[in-house]
Structure 1
Amino acid sequence: MSFGDPNNPYGPPQGQQPSGYPPQGQPGYGYPQSAPQQPGYGYPQAPPVQQSPYGGYPGGPMVMPGGVKAARVMLFVIAGLQVLGAILVAVSALAVSAAKNDESLKDDVQFQQFADYSAGALWGLTIVILAWGVLAIWLGVKCGNGGNGVRVTTLVFGIITAILGIYPFIIIGLVHTVLAVLIAVFVGKADGDAWFNRPKY
């Protein structure tokens, strides 16, 4: 029998190294065995890896969370209320200006001074109310694709609106206060944070 015959059952196994060298490719006696390639009985099967829609980076929700959607709607509601408030204040300014031109009140110096001051203040207040409404609309639009800066601005907007709703406009600002607190809570939650800090490609 020759050891060179590949069909010899008594010969050394194929690919065996000469004596004195450890075998390559197979662990020897006392070496730890490698883990099985296929899970056998008793081994739990791992779930398949989900493909991330953000180019391999995990995180970032795929759709806008419900809280952010609600905050967005509330921002638009506040903007609508701001427009209504601006209209009411503008009508008040027009009424004061019309009363200023009233013949019976023309000789009343105190009323004329009050009318001059209040008409200017009311027009200025109208501009501020409209600007606040425009900011609410802009924040509502930017909730869809804005980053962390939009989130922080929305939080600050909600806090300031809530404070202004309490004082000095407590009666007419109660709805603003409730909506603003809800906006700040929804945007400040963890899912809101994840939405605004998601990777954008």
Structure 2
Amino acid sequence: MSFGDPNNPYGQQQPPQPGYGYPQAPPVQPYGAGAGYPAPPMEMPGGAKAGRIFVWVVIALQLVFAVYAFTQMGAVEEAVNQSGTGLSSTETEIASDIGKGIVAVFAVFALIFAALGLIIALKWAKGGSSVRTCAIVWGSFAIVGGIFQMPIGIATIVFAILLIVFAAKGDTAAWFKRPRH
């Protein structure tokens, strides 16, 4: 028996041939970004586009409320002065300052909240799942903040609820979990 004899049990073993006890694997076709060409861009689904629009609407409502609050500071002073409660001039001045301070705090919170929403809106197109999560949490806080911003707060609450609904949809979640290169 020679070394190359196929009948020699001690000779060189040949790998099993496809179809002889082993299922043949389908041929592997390269595709995607790892195969030398870029992956096709995934279009943002309609739910994600709507969610981004709702973020911008809530930002605009926050800015409108901040401007409205700052313009109403004079009305607070006028209301305290005309109350006729029998307070002394220093007491009415203190009450007026406290009222204006509260209005100013709400206005500044609205501006800060709008700035946080701006970060979310700008990261929406390129961001990952964390942007979506932040948008849902931000929308939840917008609902609570809308309670303190009446009458503008009614629109804030409605659009924040819509933002949460559209950000929580499955197609939006899948889009935020897409692979990015």
Q: CA deviation at 1:63?
A: 1.2
How far the C-alpha of 1:194 sits from its partner, in A, is 1.5
- 1:145-175 per-position Cα deviation (integer Å, ceiling 9, x unaligned): 111211111010111212333x344643221
Is 1:182 paired with 2:162? yes
Which of 163, 175, 179 is matched with 1:195 structurally?
Answer: 175
Q: How far apart, in 2, do the equivalents of 1:163 and 1:18 lie?
A: 84
* 1:124 partner SS: helix
Contact 1:143 1:150 in 2 (8 A): yes
What does residue 105 of structure 2 align with? 124
Give the counterpart of 1:76 among 39, 56, 65: 56
Instruction: Give the aligned CA root-mean-square deviation in angstroms.
Output: 4.0
In structure 2, the CA distance between the partners of 1:127 and 1:20, relative to structure 1 (3 Å rule), is: closer
Paired residue type of 1:140: A
CA distance in 2, matches of 1:85, 1:171: 9
Partner of 2:11: none
**Among candidates 129, 149, 155, match of residue 130 of structure 2:** 149
Shift of 1:51: 4.0
Q: Percent identity?
A: 28
Instruction: Tell me the TM-score normalized by structure 1.
Output: 0.65
**If each structure's helix is expressed as a fraction of its own residues, which one has the higher value?**
2
Question: Residues 101, 18 of structure 1: CA spacing in aligned structure 2 closer, same or farther, 3 A cutoff?
Answer: closer
Corresponding position of 1:85: 65
* 8 Å CA contact 2:128, 2:176 repeated in 1: yes
**Corresponding residue for 1:160?**
141
Separation (CA, whole Å) in 1 of partners of 2:161 and 2:65: 20
Mapped partners of 1:125, 1:33: distance in 2: 75
**Residue 115 in structure 1 maps to residue 96 in structure 2:** yes
User: In the aligned structure 2, how far is the partner of 1:79 from the partner of 1:19?
Assistant: 79
> Gapped runs of 5+ residues in structure 2?
9-13
TM-score (structure 2 length as normaliser): 0.71
CA distance in 1, matches of 2:170, 2:52: 16
Q: Which amino acid aligns with 2:119?
A: W
How far apart are the structure 1 equivalents of 2:132 and 2:23? 48
Give the match's secondary structure for 1:200: coil
**Partners of 1:183 and 1:132 in 2: CA distance:** 15
Work out whether residues 60 and 197 of structure 1, in 8 Å CA contact, stay in contact via their aligned partners in 2: no
Which amino acid in the other structure matches residue 157 of structure 2? Answer: T
Higher relative contact order (CA 8 A, sep 6+): 2
The CA deviation at 1:110 is 3.6
Alpha-carbon distance in 1 for matches of 2:89, 2:142: 38
Task: Supply the AA of the counterpart residue of 2:71.
Answer: V
Give the Å deviation of 1:18. Answer: 7.6
Paired positions, count: 168
- CA contact 1:71–1:182 (8 Å) conserved in 2: yes
